[in-house]
Structures are given as structure tokens and as C-alpha cells.
Amino acid sequence: MTESGAVAALRFVTAPDVQVEQLPWGPHEWLCRPGLTDARDLLLVRVRMPPGTGHAFHRHPAMEEIIYVVSGTAEQWVDRERRLLGAGDIAHIPKDVVHGTYNAGDETLVFLAILSPAIFEGPPLVDVSGEAPWSTLRP
């Protein structure tokens, strides 16, 4: 705590500090974001996506993103291009470009998502999975 009683932002984030958010496509373990760290330009989240799940087509109007696969197999879409990514592979998603990440394997897919900036105006994401052509790209 600071002298004013506010919680000080962390410079080092260890396992007990991680902020976990439960989402339909798997738990999100926030490692860097405002309120946890002093980040203004970076967000870092580790996602553990169970088999058969995915983060359906969406876009981030104000942020660009890098997805780094730690383990498992990702079916990664960036716009209308699809690739299977494994450990050590990345996808770069420019600002406001539609993308989706799906677990294409039998084990939990673990990936890091790095987004920038951390502070912005407007919605963090817009779901477009029910709109054409995105609603027809995957069976």
C-alpha cells in the first residue's frame, strides 16, 4: 500500500498476484493490465482454452494484438486467412481486424495474448461471429 492507502501497482507479478477472469472460452489469467501494474500501453493475458472451445470471430477497434502459442494447437484466423499454430508460433492481428482463436487439439490450448494500448476509448472488443461472412467460415 502507498501512504495514501491506495494499492501500489506491481512491478513484478507472481502466481498469487494473477487476476483470473472466467470466460466461456477458458480462464484468462491477467499478468499485466492497469490496476495490477502501471501498464498504459500493454496488456498481457494467459488463456487456457479447453478442447472444443474457441474465442469466436471478433475485433478490437482500438488495439492490435499478438497471440503467442505456449502449448497445444490453435486454429487461428486473421481476417479470412486460417493457420494451425503450435508452440512457439505467433499471429499478429492489426487494430480492428477480425480474428478468432479455436482449440484445434485434444489438449488444453495455452497462449499468451499481448494487446496494445492498455488504455483506450470505446469497447475492448466487438463480437462479429453471427455476421456474414464470419458466421459461415467454420463448420
pLDDT at 2: 43
Burial label, 126 (beta-carbon count in 10 A; 0-12, 13-18, 19+) = middle
Mean pLDDT in residue range 45-71: 97
Question: pLDDT band for position 7 (50/70/90)?
Answer: low
Domains of the chain: 28-136 (2.60.120.10)
pLDDT at 139: 76
**Cα gap 37→19, rounded to integer Å:** 11
**Cα gap 101→82, rounded to integer Å:** 10
Q: How far, rounded to the nearest angstrom, does the alpha carbon of residue 31 sit from its chain's CA centroid?
A: 11
Mean pLDDT in residue range 98-127: 97
pLDDT at 114: 98
Mean pLDDT in residue range 84-107: 98
Mean pLDDT in residue range 103-121: 97
Residue 91 has pLDDT above 70, yes or no: yes
* Helices vs. strands in the chain: H and E counts, helices first: 0, 11
pLDDT one-digit tens code per residue, 12-33? 999 999 999 999 999 999 999 9
